[in-house]
């Protein structure tokens, strides 16, 4: 290893592994009762169907490939980025009227995307959605 300090190389590799752990995506967890879900639903952020309205529980939501779709009140649907604003971890659960990050336990309000706990300080980015024929689509 010409010109490279072995300790720096090894230390740098360790730091990379630690940072990778902070920013890695997590698989959805298990369901946590009424109004909660972690089921991933196929959807796109380009105008396609995100979820069936019947799949989005009142007071909860579903996590799609691109967004978290919630139903804070009957008939009101919201969608937010599925990445935590703290360090970019994939959000993994919607339960008890909050969206939960598995990495550092940040939580976000299902109606506004505002942080309600943990280290996250910025709200989730909202995407306008609507219900059309029983399906949630980007508005």
The pLDDT tens digits for 88-128 are 999 999 999 999 999 999 999 999 999 999 999 999 999 99
Q: Is residue 21 part of a domain?
A: no
The domain total for the chain is 1
Place of tokens 């109004």: 35
**How confident is residue 48, by pLDDT bands cut at 50, 70 and 90?**
confident
Q: Is residue 126 part of a domain?
A: yes
Q: Is residue 17 part of a domain?
A: no
Q: Is residue 103 part of a domain?
A: yes
Q: Is residue 19 part of a domain?
A: no
CB atoms within 10 A of CB 59: 18
133 SS3 class: coil
pLDDT of 47 reads 55
Q: Is residue 20 part of a domain?
A: no
73 SS3 class: strand
**Which tokens is 128 given?**
């306008």
Domain enclosing residue 111, as ranges = 26-138
User: CATH number for the domain including 67?
Assistant: 2.102.10.10
């Amino acid at each position: 290893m010409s010109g490279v300090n072995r300790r720096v190389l090894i230390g740098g590799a360790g730091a990379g592994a630690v940072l990778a752990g902070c920013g890695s995506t997590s698989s959805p967890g298990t369901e946590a009762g009424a109004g909660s879900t972690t089921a991933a639903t196929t959807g796109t952020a380009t105008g396609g169907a995100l979820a069936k309205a019947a799949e989005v529980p009142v007071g909860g939501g579903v996590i799609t490939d691109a967004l978290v779709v919630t139903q804070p009140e009957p008939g009101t649907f919201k969608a937010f980025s599925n990445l935590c604003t703290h360090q970019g971890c994939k959000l993994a659960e919607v339960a008890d009227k909050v969206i939960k990050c598995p990495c550092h336990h940040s939580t976000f309000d299902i109606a506004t995307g505002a942080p309600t706990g943990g280290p996250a300080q910025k709200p989730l980015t909202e995407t306008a959605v609507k219900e059309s024929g029983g399906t949630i689509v980007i508005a």
